[in-house]
Amino acid sequence: MTNAFGYGLAGAAALLLAGCATTSEPQFKGLPPVSVHATGETVPVGTNNADAADDPAIWRNAANPAASLIVATDKKAGLYVYGLDGKIKSFLNAGRVNNVDLVEKGGTVYAVASDRNDPRNAKLALFTLDTTSGKLTPIGKVAGGTGEGYGVCILPGNDAQAFNVFSVLKEGVIADVRVTPGAGAGAAPTGTIVRTLKLQTQTEGCALDAQSNSLYVGEEDVGIWRFDATGAATEGVKVASVDNQQLVADVEGLAVATAADGTRYLVASSQGDNAYAVYRISDAKGALGYVGRFAVTDGTLGGAEETDGLELIIGDFGPAYPGGLFVAQDGHNGTKAQNFKLVSWDAIKAALGL
């Protein structure tokens, strides 16, 4: 006789006894992931002895891909900007900012971070990114919904200036916020919540696929949901479940990336067993087809474990990452503070046989 996870009675009893001991090992293992190694890493964040590093976003320099930038959060302190060599370009004391995303409008690159300095009233904190110096400049905040700000992702849209930001709150609410940066020096941004979506339990990571008009949101202990990214609809459809095979709770960071041949992938942090699940976005309605799993394991550099936020962009990032760049938060960085690991997409593709 087996239980819901396929363990016999003796195995279930052993698991129950094991659960009485304190351990950092995940209780359930997913399907075996293939192994890849990081070839780069960032300088650790400044907050020591804490769960602090959280979420990265990538700005790709089309003119000089090796000069691309990574914007990343220390959720206890603020925002870092790193070069692809992992060195710090700048740090901005922005307080408790959890997730971050980037959008370019009218030649200006904006960073938007989920601000949870007030845990009862989320804000979206806006910054401009100087892509030459790597410095961020605050330009203001707009309301992001009632609750604690967690996840954030941006739908650029076709407007010359405005864009939509999905503010994912810890309690399961997702606010669709129409944001317009201030016009002119010193002008404050404006934001209007145009729609509210809802999941039942804790949420964080989100990602967008413009081709299928899909917003993907991770409900940490349940799975990945798809919503229409535009329009008035508020109902979601679960497209991947926490099954302790492909996904092991918590489902944390999500990223969508498009290959040169038009294939779109969604990558999800299967945090509970230190792995990443990869799906193809398989049709015009945003359905997911499972591809495989990988783990970033110890090599010349350390691996990445218990990943919160992640990002993937497929394309040329210079000699070190010619086919694309995957960046993942590392929750266990040896004796150092947490940081972010950099992995070649070519290595992940080869390991998965894509």
Q: In this predicted model, what pLDDT tens digit does every residue of 24-52 receive, in sequence order?
A: 445 568 999 999 999 999 999 999 999 99
* 13: three-class secondary structure by DSSP: helix
Residue 254 half-sphere exposure toward CB, CA atoms < 13 A: 31
Q: How far is CA 292 from CA 33, 116, 246, 276, in A?
A: 7, 34, 8, 9
Contact 244, 266 (CB under 8 A): no
Q: Other C-beta atoms within 10 Å of 196: how many?
A: 14
Q: In this predicted model, what pLDDT tens digit does every residue of 292-303 receive, in sequence order?
A: 999 999 999 999
Cis ω before 55 (30° cut-off from 0): no
pLDDT at 17: 35
pLDDT at 182: 80
Task: With cut-offs at 50, 70 and 90, classify the pLDDT of residue 18.
Answer: very low
Q: In this predicted model, what pLDDT tens digit does every residue of 254-269 receive, in sequence order?
A: 999 999 999 999 999 9
Q: In this predicted model, what pLDDT tens digit does every residue of 58-77 receive, in sequence order?
A: 999 999 999 999 999 999 99
Helix and strand counts by DSSP (H, E) for the chain: 2, 25
Contact 306, 295 (CB under 8 A): no
Q: Is 156 exposed, middle or buried (0-12, 13-18, 19+ CB in 10 A)?
A: middle
What average pLDDT score do residues 168-184 get? Answer: 92
